[in-house]
A and B are shown apart, each in its own frame.
Chain A
């Protein structure tokens, strides 16, 4: 067993002539919280789409939990244990909290009925309450449909979803971008809870304070390449910004480099 939960080697993605991601070699240890930063279009989201199976990389390898993997789709990545909270929240507005938590992997009875197998509402409710408890998420009523919830509550539901399924790696793509101060604090608390529980996390964020606060390590993307790998407590915000804008470069990025 490798000490790394996820490792990518020379991960590359081209959209036609656009080289969105070039030779990205990245690694994250078990229990580690790593931030991915970078300008718009630097390749952050593209990188996430490759490792979550949403897209197939043009080149390169992904090793997850000690094994080389090639995900055919997001469901495979999820089954392997990679849970992503996307920028555009993957929640169904007209369904309630348990329905959303278990969407696509419902607990069922009478499985011989195929697509018409029966939903086990009782078990899903119980597990939902347990998951909300575990992440410290506060929701007025889990029976409310998502459409009547605030942005923060939606985000919390999305995050609680990752906690429900004992994922091996959680990925959050700008979880607080659209949230108010209080709601941001709530989400950050959940992230800290994950850290205490030793759950590894990749956090994509533009919020420097948040990144410095929550993450052990910062990986900077610039123009589709990884340009810096920094220990959060050793650098200042200004230095990170310098890497993001390209004012400063770290010539020899290697997986082992700053780890």
Chain B
């Protein structure tokens, strides 16, 4: 659109004042953090000049340390799936605190429909539906049941936020507590184990990463190129304007929260399949990690600003930090301290950048 950038009318369009995509800054931060770990690996005396990123021992076919790269993305893929939904909620100006608990509840319920009939040749008497005989079911059933759970929880969130007009913080806080209760109640606290082979395949190997990437691409396209995405941004940017423009804000918000619930359910299915077991305590604090990924990726908590690409980069930064600390053989305690500092730092930097951008106009 050359004529669009040149501008209509007599005013000149200054390319230097062009709005730089915030994702670029997040990407630079990612490279910077990787660089710092690489440098520390070379410099710290006890590291013996190990490389963070590169394959120095000739273990892989390429110049990169592929095992590390795989771990980096694998350990953020599942929370990353949640973060995709949380991102959309935050863009509408809301917040979703319930995703971690939805993961717990969904994992328990879905897993109980995916149990095998026999364990080591003996009947699986501890299976949740042993008496009903719902064992060795086709993989589609636990997946659909799981999705339905997540979508339902999301729908309740959405209806509460959109129609009762209580703050999203409160609505999803309620769901966070309630869904955790469901997770514990479902088996009275017992873990659910021994899934069928086909269910276990969902989260095996690098599957979580492929699912995450597939969903990320899908939602990137949806947020960027569909009416749904445009209205999500519009609502977060100026809810009154959205309403006056004829957008059905209530229905749209309900849809956004429902989709976030659905994504949490997908994460739950992948996670329980990967772990081969589901426990009531699954997914604790995932909601905060997912929000942190979004915030690090430049999603504004005020709504209206941010993108799926930002969240993916935020998730990568998360993974790099965890891997980096393990690489430097530092305790997990330091990891959490550093994570906290980076979350706050990301928001401070972003606000500072926003102010500067506003001032130079």
Residues on A lying within 8 angstroms of B by beta carbon are 54, 73-75, 78, 86, 88-95, 99, 103-106, 108, 113, 115-119, 125, 129, 132-133, 136-145, 147-148
Contact = CB atoms under 8 A, between A and B. Distances in A.
A138 B9 contact: yes
A143 B8 contact: no
B10 interface: yes
12 contacts: A74-B244, A86-B244, A90-B238, A90-B241, A95-B233, A95-B237, A103-B234, A115-B255, A116-B222, A116-B228, A119-B230, A145-B19
B4 A92 contact: no
B245 A94 contact: no
A91 B9 contact: no
B contact face: mostly helix, strand, loop, or mixed = helix
Q: How large is the interface on B (under 10, 10 to 19, 20 to 34, 35 or more residues)?
A: 35 or more
B226 A119 contact: yes
A95 B234 contact: yes
B361 interface: yes
B247 A104 contact: yes
Interface in B230-285: 230-231, 233-234, 236-238, 240-247, 252, 255
Nearest to B244: A90
B238 A137 contact: no
B222 A90 contact: no
Contact of B4 (A93, A103, A137, A143): A143
Contact of A118 (B1, B12, B226, B247): B226
A148 B228 CA distance: 24
Contacts, number: 117
A89 B8 contact: no
B226 A93 contact: no
A142 B9 CA distance: 11
Nearest to B229: A119
B238 A91 contact: yes
B339 interface: no
Contacts of B247: 103-104
Interface of B: 1, 3-14, 19, 222, 225-228, 230-231, 233-234, 236-238, 240-247, 252, 255, 304-305, 357-358, 361
B245 to A, nearest CB: 3
Given A78-B246, A93-B304, A129-B4, A138 B226 contact: no
B9 A139 contact: yes
Given A92-B242, A106-B227, A143 B233 contact: no
A92 B304 contact: yes
B224 to A, nearest CB: 9
Contacts of A129: 3-4, 8
Contacts of B361: 148
A75 B237 CA distance: 19
A104 B226 contact: no
Nearest to B234: A92
Chain A to chain B: the 7 pairs with minimum beta-carbon distance, closest first: A138-B9, A75-B246, A104-B245, A92-B237, A94-B304, A104-B246, A90-B244
Contacts of A95: 230, 233-234, 237
B227 A117 contact: yes
Contacts of B228: 115-116
A133 B222 contact: no
B246 A137 contact: no
A131 B244 CA distance: 20
Most buried by B among A92, A115, A139: A92
Nearest to B360: A148
A143 B15 CA distance: 12
Given A92-B233, A94-B304, A138-B9, A148 B1 contact: no
B250 to A, nearest CB: 12
A118 B241 contact: no
Nearest to B91: A94
A138 B10 contact: yes
A137 B8 contact: yes
Contacts of B305: 94
A113 B221 CA distance: 13
